[in-house]
Structures are given as C-alpha cells and as structure tokens.
Amino acid sequence: MATTLPGGRPAPRRGGSYWGRLRGRRVLGTVAVYAALIVLAALFLLPFYVMVRSALMTNRQITAFEWLWLPNPPQWDNLRELLDESDILIGLRNSAGIAIIQVVCQTLFAAMAGYALARIPVRGRDLVFFGLLTTLMIPSAVTFVPTYAVVSWLGGVGTLWGIIVPGLFNVFATFLFRQFYLDFPVEIEEAGRLDGAGYFRTFFGLALPNSYGIMAALGALSFIGSWNAFLWPLVIGGQDAKTVQVVLSSFLTAQTIDLAQLFMAAVVGAAPLVIIFLVLQRYIVEGVKLSGIKG
Amino acid sequence: MATTTLPARAARRSAAARRRDRSATFAFWVLMSPMVVGLLLFTVIPIVWGLLLSFTDARSQITVGDWIGFENYQWVLGQQEFLRSLRTILVFTVFIVPLTFAVSLGLALLVDRAGWGRGIFRTAFFIPTAISYVVASLVWKLGLFNSLPYGVANLGLSNFGIDPIVWIGPGDIPWYWVVLVTVRLWLQVGFYMIIFIAGLQEIPKDLYESAFVDGGRPGWTTFRTITLPLLRNTSIAVIVLSLINAFQAFDEFYNVLGGGSFASGGNLSLARPPLVWLYQTAFGGQEYGRGSAGAFILTALIIAVTLIQGRVLGFGRSSAEK
C-alpha cells in the first residue's frame, strides 16, 4: 500500500529502521511518560481519597490544621447517623427508580424508532427522520422553562413521573440505533421474513436480541446521566420528590453544615455509580465513542 | 434491468402488495409512536407554548396571559444581570474549552503510549465521569478548596509559607474561577480522552514510519504534521460538545457558589451563568413569560455559536466570520 504524507509526497516505505532507531530515545521517553502518568493519576484520584477519608473522620479531625492521612479510628457512626437522620435513603430509592425506568424506556423507544427508520420503507420516512434531527439542534437544558410549563399543566410538578417521563425520548440514541440497524445484516432478517414473520416479530424476535452490545453501551451512559441529573429534578421534583442529587445539594447549600456527614453523604451518593462504572466500563467506553460522532 | 416484465410486475403489484404496504405503514408508525408522541409532548409543544408565553405577561401563571409583543425580550436584553451572565459564560467558555481540549488530548497521548498498566491509567482518568456535578462541587467546595486553613489546597500552600486563600468569596482576585474550571475539567476530560484515544487508534502506524524515513523525527514534528491533522474530525467533535455543554453550565455554579437561602443565593452574584439567571428569574420570581423570552434568546445564541463554529472549523482559515 502506498502511503502519502500530508504534504502530498509519496513516501518510500522501509520498515524496521523507524522502530529500531527509536529505541535509544525510547527508554528515556518511557520513564517520562510513566512519571507523568503516575503523577496525573494521583491527582485525579485525590478527590476520591479526600472524600472517603473525610467521610470517616470526626468534624474535629477534618478541621484540624495538621493533615491526617487516615481516619483513626474510622467513624462508621457517621454512616449510621446519616442514614437515620437524613432523607438520603428516600433520595437513593427515588434516584434508583428514575434511573432504571429511564434507561429501559429510553433504550427501547430509541431502538424501536431507530429500527423503523432504518428498515421499514414507507413514504414520508425521510421527512420524519429530518424532523427528529432538527430537534437535536435545540439545547435541552435551555428549554426547561417552557417544558416546566407543560409538565406543570399535566400535573407533574412534585412527582416522580414528572421527572421521569420527559427524559424518555432520546433522539441522539435513535440516530445511533438507526445507524446500527442500517448495518445490520439483511440476510438474517430476510430468512425470518420468509417464515412469515412480520415487522414486529422480526424486530422483537431478531433485531432487538441481536443489539445487546449497542443497548448496553447507550444504556450504561444513560444510567449515569439519569442518576447524576440535577437541574430538571430540582425544578420538577424539588423537595416533594427528591433525587439523591437534590438531597445532597440541599445539604450543601443549607445554613449549617456538618462536614463529616456531608462527605459521608457524598460517598453514599457516588458509591453506586462508581461500582456500576467499574463493572460496566467496557460498555461505557463504547458508549462514549458513539457519543463522539455527535460533533 | 428487468424491463421486459414491467406489465407483469404491475399486475403483481396488486392486492397482496398493497396489503404489505399497509402493514409496513402500520408497523412503522407503531414503532415510531412512543418517540413521536413524546417529542411532540415534551419538545414541540413546550417550544410553541414557551414562544406564546414569551409574548405575554405570564407571571406566577404558566398559562398564556395578555399579549404584550416584544416587551419581555426588551426587558431581558435590558437586564444588567442577564448581560453580565452572558459575559460570565463567555469567560468560562474561553477557559474551559481550550483547557479541556489540551488536557484530554494530552492524557490520550500519554495513555496511548503506555504499554503496561494502560488500563489502570485509563480508568483513573475516566472514572470521574461517574461522579455527579453535585458530589464533585461538594468535594471541591468543602474539601479541596475550602477557604479555611484546613482546606487541602490551603494546607498544601502552607508548606510553601503561603497564607490561606479565600477560594470562594468576593476578593480582589477571583479565585473561584480556579474552583469552577478545575471541577469541570476533572469531571469531563476523561470522557473526551476516550474519544481522542479512539481517534488516535485509527491513525495508521506506517504513516509515522514513512515520516521518519523522510526526516520527520518523532515528537513535536510528527505530532503537528500527522497526529493533529488526522485527529481533525475528533477534535471538532470534542470542541463542539464541550462548548455546547459549557454554555449550559448550571450545576457547579449553583452548588459551589450558591448557599444560604434562595433569595440571597450566597456567592452566586459573583458569577451567575445564564441558566442560573434563568432559573432564578423563572422559578424564584415566578416570571414565566420573561423566563421563556430569556430561554429563547439563549437558544438562539447557542445555535448561532454552534453554526458559526461549525463553519469556522469546517472551512478552516478561509472563513470570514467576524
């Protein structure tokens, strides 16, 4: 294969020498790369360390002018007090419910629409697709005032469904599913259709079960987004239907602050997602790569 | 191709074919219906409704009030606070977008070069993606950048004999920008790093080899002549995404600067981005008409900036945008 340099000159190919002559510089380079990586990784993990360390300390230890590396002894009472005295459990339950429903419905609705747009030839399909794409132009966070008006008119203020339902329709995911089904091997489907299966049976029986990869990638990302959402749950749910983020925020912006409990609350609010993240990282990476297409 | 069978085909496009068309149409709309109904209800109707509200004197009511033309728009554009919020978000964007680009690309290059332990480092940089802005704001405000002497940053500085800094507060030096910019950087660079790593892996390795033969030594030269040009699409995606996200910043400003009662808003007057202004106007002051007008002005701005940026990046140096 003839490679061309950006300048337009065809480059003669003489393999080997490049990597060979690189070796001298390489040792020094590798040391520098790893030194930088270790320092940066420590910096990136520092906030986690500070959070967990402070969560297991007494207030007196946190505010001491001497830096304490480890809580000694760990104050597990902070956790018990937090669970007993605050609304965080309600917040956790609400957030879990919201996230699960949103992930399932968002993924299913997007897959259904994406499949229809990719595979069912009807008149006006391109028009529908174009219509969906125009809604991608509108920055969602900015339309929260008018959307609040509609949800309020429907009686959704202060309810969980008011938080959930408007977030079930993800156009970008629809777009990605359409892309995915366009590349889906037609032969599999045609074999199914010869058996007399209609579009519904082809979709639910063949296409959907064969798209677990993309579903996991988009689902994992949407779980994170759902759990971490703040503005919309704050506006709609407020103090009547609190998510964990709203509970944490009201601690943080309260008049009086109990530092140790706040850090413990942060740990409790973040822990479920950190665990999910570590377990599903492979899928999340795929999801992020897909998101890169958006630009 | 099969021109000879035209009449036959026309005959065959009879009842059976029409039935198949009808079943296709039916299936199409059933599968589309959740998405279409949802978008109509929660995107299209709100936009129309909001547009109507913005031309009426809707106060402490979400129904359309009396028609007052462009008064709300004039009011919003005449508000010093609103104009200041635009300046605030501009300053924020000017810092956060290039920094995000540079840091996430840097991390991607480093992780890409690492052999052993590559997955561990990638996870270390990527895991903040799982953390919410609220949690991160909490750690930044009360832990890392606590203004009292026991804050982590202040403790660190005290080793060099530097007095504690009031990170969040009305001082001569706006230190709170350090807090606001670093918290967003920490949360989002891992995400963009993943996109960059994916882009880097698509660059064919023999390009670097050929460049070497031509005298291009690895390092800055190959980075400038090979890596960066071939990352063009990835770079555009990262810039556009981080820009749109920065324009809609709310969470970290609200949680880092906010505090105390709703009315006082803590230190929010220091740096109030448009979304916080919108939130306080629409929900604090029950000004839905004016709030909607503000929302549309902002939407127009974001779309305009995105389009201008798309053209600038799309056509490179040739564009003549202001």
Q: Do residues A211 and A255 both lie within one domain?
A: yes
Chain B 142-181, CB below 8 Å of chain A: which residues? 142-144, 148-150, 152, 155
The answer to whether residues A214 and A183 belong to one domain is: yes
User: What does the pLDDT read at residue B122?
Assistant: 95
Q: Is residue A83 included in any domain, yes or no?
A: yes
pLDDT less than 70: residues of chain B: 1-14, 216-218, 260-265, 313-322
Q: Is A19 a member of any domain?
A: no
Each of the 295 residues of chain A gets a pLDDT tens digit; together they read 344 444 444 444 444 455 555 565 667 788 889 999 999 999 999 999 999 999 999 888 888 877 888 888 888 888 998 898 888 999 999 999 999 999 999 999 999 999 999 988 888 899 999 999 888 877 776 778 889 888 988 999 999 999 999 999 999 999 999 999 998 887 777 776 656 668 888 888 888 988 999 999 999 999 999 999 999 999 998 888 999 999 999 888 877 778 899 999 999 999 999 999 999 999 999 999 888 775 4
pLDDT value of residue B139 = 94
Does one domain contain both A68 and A120?
no
Q: Is A111 exposed, middle or buried (0-12, 13-18, 19+ CB in 10 A)?
A: buried
Q: How far is B253 from chain A (nearest CA, A)?
A: 12
Residue A9 falls within a domain, yes or no? no
Among A30, A48, A149, whose Cβ lies nearest the Cβ of B62? A149
B 87-116: CB under 8 A from A = 107, 110-111, 113-114
Output the domain CATH number for residue A127.
1.10.3720.10
> What domain range is A149 assigned to?
79-294
**pLDDT for the residue numbered B311:** 75
Cα first-last separation, chain A: 31
Nearest to B28 among A34, A122, A259 (CB): A122
CATH class of B71-318: mainly alpha
> Does A217 lie in the same domain as A177?
yes
Q: Do residues A96 and A60 both lie within one domain?
A: no
Together in a domain, A71 and A96: no
The three-state (H, E, C) secondary structure of chain A, written as one string? CCCECCCCCECCCCCCHHHHHHHHHHHHHHHHHHHHHHHHHHHHHHHHHHHHHHHCCCHHHHCCCCCCCCCCCCCCHHHHHHHHHCCHHHHHHHHHHHHHHHHHHHHHHHHHHHHHHHHCCCCCHHHHHHHHHHHHCCCHHHHHHHHHHHHHHCCCCCCHHHHHHHHHCCHHHHHHHHHHHHCCCHHHHHHHHHCCCCHHHHHHHHHHHHCHHHHHHHHHHHHHHHHHCCHHHHHHCCCCCCCHHHHHHHHHCCCCCCHHHHHHHHHHHHHHHHHHHHHHHHHHHHHHHHHHHHC
Assess if residue A185 is contained within a domain: yes
Q: Nearest by CB to A14, which of B152, B194, B213?
A: B213
Q: From the CA of B320, how many Å to the nearest CA of chain A?
A: 22
The C-alpha of A96 sits at a distance from chain B's nearest C-alpha, in angstroms, of 14
CA distance B278 to A183: 43
- Residue A181 resides in a domain: yes
Q: Considering its fold, how many domains does chain A have in total?
A: 2
Name the residue ranges covered by the structural domains of chain B.
6-54, 71-318
Per-residue confidence (pLDDT) for residue B74, from 0 to 100: 93
Q: Is residue A109 part of a domain?
A: yes
Helix axes B118-126, B80-113, angle to 10 degrees: 170
Whether A110 and B35 lie within 8 Å, measured CB to CB: yes
A135 and A235 inside one domain: yes
pLDDT digits 0-9 by tens, B76-100 = 999 999 999 999 999 999 999 999 9
Residue B79 CB contacts under 8 Å (≥ 6 apart), including other chains: none
Give domain status of residue A154, yes or no. Answer: yes
Buried b (16+ CB within 10 A) or exposed e, A227-262: bbbbbbbbbbbeeebbbbbbbbbbbbbeeeebbbbb
Q: How far is B211 from chain A (nearest CA, A)?
A: 7
The percent of residues above 90 in pLDDT, for chain B, comes to 40
